Structure 1
């Protein structure tokens, strides 16, 4: 015989002892009284029947479908108290950065659970949703300065975890600058939506933009259905979700009050915005929230609002399949102004502020789990190496003509993107080099980009130049040597160019075989030709490919040539032989 019994409990504990005066086999479920908390599952009781004394059962606590938040006690160090900051994973570590005033980047080691201070931000950076892409951390759409007129940051800033250095990235178009923006990564591109232009004062916008780090290009997309700021965006199943936030308006004494209830969705495949029905509005309107995704649920955490002084503890989840919300377990400490990391089905939250506004700033970390705590995971970041040729030779080039070479740069080693920040040339002005995109641009792991080198000599003789590429890969810079030589244009005897045999002092000069196979052929010379006889091989554009001199004894009439190792392409060439002031030309058809 088996019965079910439901009990109400008022506290959470790791173990709960329940005394049962019964001779029955029982299966009990212990639920919370009012607000979400841990659910305690008790297996079927198998003690003795009819003993007349209580059975005392130790019961381990496990999280229910509502989940649970737990504090993380660090092994050493602690997160610096800060808010309006970001928390993001790169490789196998968590990075806490930004916040009001200049503060250090802090690294949380997932294995040792230690906090380590790194370099400070280059300027004050706050009110941003950081993103990690191919091992680099991007800050786009941040504020700097003080309340209520914080200023939008004019550049993208990039933190390199492997070198512990900040890089000043691309300039944000002046007409699209704002802070407190929702930022996501989708298909290797960065998307920005919403935000406000003048701190907390005024100028909230519904702008939507795309930035492509690989090409350093900025694209304006269709506006979102409504403006919002002080929120974070997320992508679920190929759709961009905006939930929470407000329209800050300190200019009308409504800094916290104008919260946004609607949920807006952008479908990337259709390039279209929609708004969920009012029945799917966020249950607890607030801003300054953190956003995470677990499975098919969009989770909005914490926040601040005009309805209460303390920061919100709320954790609310939107099922993107049913468009219905549910309440999850509350934060242990209400907080706003920070960012969530999702790792191995757990959510991590650090720092933030405990009350509406700016104090108290927090230096704690919590983790959320639906069913059980999992070990955090991540792959170690390895700084990539930029592969490039050490030198590029243009050979001999006729004066005032241009020779073009392709110069390939590749990210072939490591698992981190390489930011190409500058390409400069020094040396002879006859050399130029061009890049396909406006600098700076990013070269993802396994990707290549082609630069174009050109040589247009204006004087005869050898010339050199160097190309220096500054980047975020191993070594920080790569140098490519360029060389070339200018030569005068070759002259041709028009009377003799149309035959494989030419007159030479009323005798014949013959080349065989012609067409020439494998670069080997023989020239029959006229009798009586002795001494030093210069010759040159010229291509159809008039460029001299090689030149030398023959020293012929009197009895020699045939001279073998071997051009197999000269890397010549198949095609038509001209062999020029000089005697005194006379130049004779014979056509040679090379075949490989």
Structure 2
């Protein structure tokens, strides 16, 4: 009996509590840094383009609301940089939103900052060396970067036009992945070196995809879902080997969603799945190579922005 109790205690210490949705709620050490969090803003719920923002509690699965954005937006860029959140351009249901607003967690306020040079939506944004980059969009191959002096400048354009792409930073390079070029869904990928300011073609994904989830995680890049041939397929890219490897497929086929890495797991929220907007949440366990359902979003949502700050 003592051996059984000891084993259960040991397992609980190692892997944390198992919740009713079938995913692990990780127990962090007492001295772990718990100040960072997942923030989700904007999007479309099927009837209204959203301004609302939420801060995700990964332990309880709850989504307490926070200060909403000043402008409703979907298909927008959303990143964390310089200890702030940035909501960039997007679509409000009637027209492209040409504003950029930043959120300060200390003051709990959003404020307008410099606008992009090009009007765009359906692009993506990423951060490298505390510099924000945006690339792509409908009929777009251009890129811009944001300077501390509150100014956007054009950078080197990509080799292909990419709408609904994923722009991912691994800390050293930017990767422009997949998308739609106006004729075809893409599997191609190119890498940007911020030092040389040049794009270089890299190994293509196994599947074509646009409006999909992508994240830098465990020194690799993970992609899931999207329009194209990869609606449920997931794969990971190893930059050292320049090689893509299939991983476990996501449980719900979905597109128009985001993938985010946080506290040793990957999270997929909402999107469009099975002919309707979804509120489901899935969590990927890297060691087990397995997806599990978690507590759903506060409401159905697609084309939102998500970032860790």
TM-score bracket, shorter-length normalisation? 0.7 to 0.9
Q: Cα gap change, 1:372/1:160 in structure 2, threshold over 3 Å: closer, same or farther?
A: farther
Deviations 1:46-101 (A, max 9, x none): xxxxxxxxxxxxxx9xxxxxxxxx86599xxxxxxxxxxxxxxx943222211121
Q: How many angstroms apart in 2 are the aligned matches of 1:267 and 1:290?
A: 22
Q: Higher RCO, 1 or 2 (CA under 8 Å, sep at least 6)?
A: 2
Name the count of aligned residue pairs.
Answer: 259
Q: How many angstroms apart in 2 are the aligned matches of 1:330 and 1:267?
A: 31
Instruction: Give unmatched runs, 5+ long, in structure 2.
Output: 1-10, 12-20, 26-33, 290-308
Q: Does 1:144 align with 2:92?
A: yes
Q: How many angstroms apart in 1 are the aligned matches of 2:78 and 2:35?
A: 15
Q: How many angstroms apart in 2 are the aligned matches of 1:166 and 1:353?
A: 28
Q: Cα gap change, 1:296/1:102 in structure 2, threshold over 3 Å: closer, same or farther?
A: closer
Show the counterpart of 1:260: 186
Q: Which structure has the highest strand share of the two?
A: 1
Question: Computing the radius of gyration over CA atoms, which structure comes out larger, 1 or 2?
Answer: 1
Give TM-score scaled by structure 2 length.
0.76
Q: How many angstroms apart in 2 are the aligned matches of 1:239 and 1:72?
A: 32
Deviations 1:369-422 (A, max 9, x none): 21159xxxxxxxxxxxxxxxxxxxxxxxxxxxxxxxxxxxxxxxxxxx9xxxxx
* One of 207, 212, 221 as aligned partner of 2:142: 207
Q: Is the Cα contact below 8 Å between 2:115 and 2:152 reproduced in 1?
A: no
**What is the Cα deviation at residue 163 of structure 1?**
4.3
Show the counterpart of 1:40: none
Show the counterpart of 1:233: 167
Q: Does 1:270 align with 2:196?
A: yes
Instruction: Give unmatched runs, 5+ long, in structure 1.
Output: 1-59, 61-69, 75-89, 197-203, 249-256, 374-416, 418-592
Q: Is the Cα contact below 8 Å between 1:210 and 1:219 reproduced in 2?
A: yes
* One of 122, 142, 153 as aligned partner of 2:97: 153
**What is the Cα deviation at residue 295 of structure 1?**
3.0
Q: Is the Cα contact below 8 Å between 1:71 and 1:365 reproduced in 2?
A: no
Deviations 1:291-321 (A, max 9, x none): 111233211111123x6xxx81111112212
Show the counterpart of 2:287: 371
**What is the Cα deviation at residue 341 of structure 1?**
1.7
Show the counterpart of 1:340: 259
Q: Does 1:129 align with 2:129?
A: no
Deviations 1:452-499 (A, max 9, x none): xxxxxxxxxxxxxxxxxxxxxxxxxxxxxxxxxxxxxxxxxxxxxxxx
Give TM-score scaled by structure 1 length.
0.41
**What is the Cα deviation at residue 154 of structure 1?**
1.4
Q: How does 1:297-446 map to 2 (within 5 A)?
A: 297-305=220-228, 312-355=231-274, 359-371=275-287
* One of 218, 225, 230 as aligned partner of 1:295: 218
Write out the 4+ residue segments of structure 1 that deviate beyond 4 Å after TM superposition.
70-74
